[in-house]
Structure 1
Amino acid sequence: MKAVVYSRAGGPEVLQLAERPMPEPGPSEVRVKVKVSAVNPSDWKARQEGGPHRNTSFPEVVPNQDGAGIIDAVGSDIRGYEEGQRVWLLEAARQRPTGTAQEYVVLPANHVVPLPGRASFDLGATLGVPALTAHRALTVADQGPARLAPGALSGRAVLVAGGAGAVGHAAIELAQWAGAEVVTTVSSDEKAKLAGAAGAHHVVNYRTTNAANAIRKIFPDGVDVVVEVSPTANAEQNQAVLAPNGTIAMYANNGGDAMTVPLRPLLAANARLQFIWVYTIPKAAKTQAIEDVNAAVAAGALRVGEAAGLPLHRFPLERTADAHTAVESGVVGKVLIDVG
């Protein structure tokens, strides 16, 4: 089978197309014929592993955490999965050497999730990191909810920073599905159109207006949850717009690794600062997130494509290096690799 591999950390040039033996599932594993592999920022960061020319965690690594495909073999101890079943994949390369940038991947059953209804493989490949991160960000507030469903966020105001990104897109859709009123910040008219297509009720271009003032006009009492991609750059803004007992859920370090926190205003607001790393979310919370995300997929609440606010950029397997380059350079939308 064809697989993209690397054996030294570094830039996209370390990724090479190779022929590898067909993997066989163990008793508690399934083998999936990968149709679509997705690239996330954490995939190219993992490929760098601290700098060029360093040894990788395994002698050889296949990149990419997320994907979607069809089960074509199951281990002897597997129950509830069968050959021919359509599935989406998560954390394929988490502390493992074999991600989704290959024609077949063998995974433990808890890394494989049934793909509801007629949901496309493209959609399935976008769910792992972005949708589970967004779900976590929307469910960590002290006053709940712990689960998402229609009405779960009714009466809540949610600010999504960077609504044109993959996590921002998922956060807008999930929050809107759960009944929240959503405002998002973007940096261009193009991104504003995408955020609106995703379902944001209000879109603020922070390059052309004072975002904090604009958000306060929309929500005079402040926002209950901030889904934050750039906590350093937006620290002052978030302080200005957060409602009492509000939560700032931070899932990335865009714009810098250090943040100054103004203690007195946040203390007075009883604010919660929540850091999110999707790979280490508590097991019970991740199980709930998977269930809720699948419910949203089944309801048609999660969508992909430019008309839905998330343009897709496609590459064949042999151009996986170009796909990684596109993500690293900040392309707007979701980068997918056609494998099957």
Structure 2
Amino acid sequence: MKAIVYERSGGSDVLSLTDRPVPEPGPGEVRVKVAFSGVNPTDWKSRTNAQPGAGAPQVPNQDGSGVVDAVGPGVDAARVGERVWIWEAAWQRTDGTAQEYVVLPARQAVPLPAHASLELGAGLGIPAMTAHRALTLAEGGPVRLAPGVLADRTVLVAGGAGAVGNAAIQLARWAGATVLTTVSGPEKAKLAEAAGAHHVVDYRAQDAASAIRALAPEGVDLVVEVAPTANVALDLAVLAPNGTVAFYADGSGPEVTIPVRDSMFRNLRWLGILVYTIPDAAKLAAVAAISDAVAAGALRGGEQAGLPWHHYPLPRTADAHDAVQSGAVGKVLIDL
């Protein structure tokens, strides 16, 4: 089978196309014939900063979709032929989804409803699980999202045209929240509107704090934050008492300064998220809620849902990684 591997850290030029034996599933595992491999920022960052497993080449990419074509001992044989979406394929493993077949624990290949495309499935994983974690961290918030559980909440999604932002808008809307989002221009505003945001604020065209306060006079309960260093002043300006900032990226800077007394008096919470290291129960709650939202048609993909798909063939995986590193707007997919 064809696979992309790297054996040392570095730029996208360390990725190479190779032939490998088709793997066999062991106890509790399934083998998936991969249709699409989804690319996330942590995929190129892992390639750049971390060494592959000792003595074994690393296949990149955590997310993907495809069809189960074999199962190992202890797994129901009825799963053969099942369409699935994949999460955390390469976390603490050398086998990601940038290959024609991947073997992984059965729970990490999740059934995908017939109406949901395999492109959508390949884009769920890390973005939707990150969004779910962020949306469940507010004071008194739910452990698992479901319709109505955020009905009394106002959520601000920073960067509503990004992959996590798109998932956060859709999941928050499904859960009943009033959803505001910030974007950096009119084209991204269209994408955020397509995702379902109730209110979209272009922070380059208007004063974002004033606009958000006008839309949410009592403040926002939760900020899903992609750029905490850049947005700390804005978040402070719009947060309601007992509000929460859940941040999941450091692209705006490696450090953020938080005013102690203001946070104390208003009982504000600043919480970081890395989906790979959240509690296992939180991962499973996210997977279950995401599956429910997809089944309900509330979590969608493609340009009509505010997240355009960008397709690359497997031999151009390096270009796909570079596109994500360069900030491609939409979801980058590798076609297998």
Using structure 1 for the length normalisation, give the TM-score: 0.97
Percent identity over paired residues: 63
SS in 1 for 2:271: strand
Find the counterpart in structure 2 of residue 283 from structure 1: 280
Q: Aligned pair 1:182/2:179, yes or no? A: yes
Q: Aligned pair 1:130/2:103, yes or no? A: no
Q: Aligned pair 1:36/2:24, yes or no? A: no
Q: Take 1:110 and 1:288, find their aligned partners in 2: how far apart are those partners?
A: 12
Please show how residues 90-109 of structure 1 align to structure 2 within 5 Å. 90-109=87-106
Q: Take 1:168 and 1:142, find their aligned partners in 2: how far apart are those partners?
A: 20
Q: Take 2:156 and 2:98, find their aligned partners in 1: how far apart are those partners?
A: 34
- Kept after mapping to 1: 8 A contact 2:52/2:94: no
The equivalent position to 2:299 in structure 1, one of 290, 298, 302, is 302
- Kept after mapping to 2: 8 A contact 1:65/1:90: yes
| Structure 2 portions without partners, runs of 5+ | none
Give per-residue Cα distances to partners, 1:234-291, cap 9 Å, x unaligned: 0011011000111100111121010000111111111111111100111111111111
Change (3 A) 1:60 1:284: same
Q: Take 2:305 and 2:135, find their aligned partners in 1: how far apart are those partners?
A: 20
Find the counterpart in structure 1 of residue 7 from structure 2: 7
Q: Give the deviation of 1:8 after TM superposition.
A: 1.1
SS in 2 for 1:303: coil
Change (3 A) 1:81 1:250: farther
- Kept after mapping to 2: 8 A contact 1:74/1:81: no
The equivalent position to 1:249 in structure 2, one of 246, 249, 255, is 246
Q: Aligned pair 1:333/2:330, yes or no? A: yes
Q: Give the deviation of 1:150 after TM superposition.
A: 1.1
Q: Give the deviation of 1:160 after TM superposition.
A: 0.1
Q: Give the deviation of 1:153 after TM superposition.
A: 0.6
Q: Take 1:87 and 1:256, find their aligned partners in 2: how far apart are those partners?
A: 36
- Residue 169 of structure 2 aligns to which amino acid in structure 1? I
- Residue 150 of structure 2 aligns to which amino acid in structure 1? L
Using structure 2 for the length normalisation, give the TM-score: 0.98
Q: Aligned pair 1:88/2:85, yes or no? A: yes
SS in 2 for 1:232: helix
- Kept after mapping to 2: 8 A contact 1:64/1:100: yes
Find the counterpart in structure 2 of residue 269 from structure 1: 266
Change (3 A) 1:184 1:81: farther
Find the counterpart in structure 1 of residue 230 from structure 2: 233
Q: Give the deviation of 1:80 after TM superposition.
A: 7.5
Please show how residues 47-62 of structure 1 align to structure 2 within 5 Å. 47-49=47-49, 55-58=51-54, 59-62=56-59
- Residue 21 of structure 1 aligns to which amino acid in structure 2? P
| Structure 1 portions without partners, runs of 5+ | none
Q: Take 1:81 and 1:331, find their aligned partners in 2: how far apart are those partners?
A: 39
- Residue 10 of structure 2 aligns to which amino acid in structure 1? G
- Residue 53 of structure 2 aligns to which amino acid in structure 1? S
Q: Give the deviation of 1:27 after TM superposition.
A: 1.5
Find the counterpart in structure 2 of residue 16 from structure 1: 16
Q: Aligned pair 1:315/2:312, yes or no? A: yes
Give per-residue Cα distances to partners, 1:60-106, cap 9 Å, x unaligned: 01000000000010001113762101111010000111100000001
- Residue 25 of structure 1 aligns to which amino acid in structure 2? P
- Residue 31 of structure 2 aligns to which amino acid in structure 1? R
- Kept after mapping to 1: 8 A contact 2:71/2:77: no
Q: Take 2:20 and 2:172, find their aligned partners in 1: how far apart are those partners?
A: 42
Q: Take 2:304 and 2:291, find their aligned partners in 1: how far apart are those partners?
A: 21
Q: Aligned pair 1:198/2:164, yes or no? A: no
- Residue 152 of structure 2 aligns to which amino acid in structure 1? G
SS in 1 for 2:79: coil
SS in 2 for 1:208: coil
- Residue 315 of structure 1 aligns to which amino acid in structure 2? Y
SS in 1 for 2:230: coil
Q: Take 1:303 and 1:28, find their aligned partners in 2: how far apart are those partners?
A: 30
Q: Give the deviation of 1:221 after TM superposition.
A: 0.5
Q: Take 1:126 and 1:75, find their aligned partners in 2: how far apart are those partners?
A: 26
Q: Take 1:156 and 1:49, find their aligned partners in 2: how far apart are those partners?
A: 38
Q: Give the deviation of 1:118 after TM superposition.
A: 2.0
Please show how residues 107-186 of structure 1 align to structure 2 within 5 Å. 107-186=104-183
Aligned residues: 335
- Residue 227 of structure 1 aligns to which amino acid in structure 2? V
Give per-residue Cα distances to partners, 1:113-154, cap 9 Å, x unaligned: 111232111111111000010000000112112221111111
- Kept after mapping to 2: 8 A contact 1:49/1:56: no
